[in-house]
Amino acid sequence: MNTVEYRALNIGIDDLSVYESKAIVDALSLNKNIFQFRMQLDAISNECFEIIMKSLRTNRFIKKLTFYDTPDGYLIPVAASIVADVLLVNKKIEALSLWFTTINDNDFKIITEALKRNRTVAELWILENPHLAVQSAVYLSDLIKSTTTLKDLTTGNNFVDNESTVLIASALKSNQSIKTMKMTGGKMSDECANALGQMLEQNKTIQELSLYRNQLTDISAKALAKGMRSNSTLKEFWIGGNQF
């Protein structure tokens, strides 16, 4: 059913029809109070997805765009080119969340290329997208190096391994916009300890860092502590759930 909660429109209809999609579009065009759009769909055709997303190109009220499901549900089908088009045209969206979606590395490249040109999306969540591999971390690190807009970046679970972490940490060394960085619930281990420590030494912007629930040990703790000695910016550091 569709519900309005905390000024959000949650769409959770199985096998959404064209008629229902057009009804959603009509509702969005008239409602000035909804600022969060959440799509939780087990199945949606490309036609229906495009109908809804095209309407967001000119929507002046939606600020947060979320595609998500639960671990027990299905992956959300997301057409990256359509999402990218919205990000390039809409000047009001400030947050994008992709949880449990079907996007792959090629899709993620399309989205990150759009985000490089976007000047409003300040918050990005990438969680539990099982088809993303290390190549997506390359695209994300390129985005981190070039962005002056992103303020809050969250990655987690299958996307957080040693190789991806090293790429992201390296990009964060020179980033001057991201203030909150979360890399949680993954396979990050001591292999990336030095990269994380060096990032803390050189980054002058991050105020909140979370490495919660990874596989770090005392070896990583020493590297992180060394990095923090020369860091005067970090205010919150979440590191519980590791192997200390």
pTM of this structure: 0.94
* Tokens representing residue 242 in the block: 């590791």
Q: CA–CA separation, 177 vs 9, rounded Å?
A: 30
Q: Please indicate whether the domains covering 1-121 and 133-244 agree at the CATH topology level.
A: yes
From 3.60.40.10, 3.20.20.140, 3.40.50.12780, 3.80.10.10, which CATH number describes the 133-244 domain? Answer: 3.80.10.10
Sign of CA dihedral 101, 209, 195, 204: positive
Topology of the domain covering 1-121: 3.80.10
Q: CA–CA separation, 244 vs 227, rounded Å?
A: 18
Backbone angles phi, psi at 56, to 5 degrees: -80, -15
Q: CA–CA separation, 71 vs 65, rounded Å?
A: 20
Q: CA–CA separation, 50 vs 192, rounded Å?
A: 40
pLDDT digit string (tens) for the chain, length 244 residues: 344 445 888 887 778 899 999 999 998 888 888 999 998 876 788 899 999 999 999 999 999 999 987 777 778 888 999 999 999 999 999 999 999 998 999 999 999 999 999 999 999 999 999 999 999 999 999 999 999 999 999 998 878 899 999 999 999 999 999 999 999 999 999 999 999 999 999 999 999 999 999 999 999 999 999 999 999 999 999 999 999 9
* Tokens representing residue 57 in the block: 């190109």
Q: CA–CA separation, 85 vs 80, rounded Å?
A: 9
Q: CA–CA separation, 156 vs 211, rounded Å?
A: 9
**Domains in the chain: boundaries:** 1-121, 133-244
Contact assessment for residue 182 and residue 156, using Cβ atoms and an 8 Å cutoff: yes
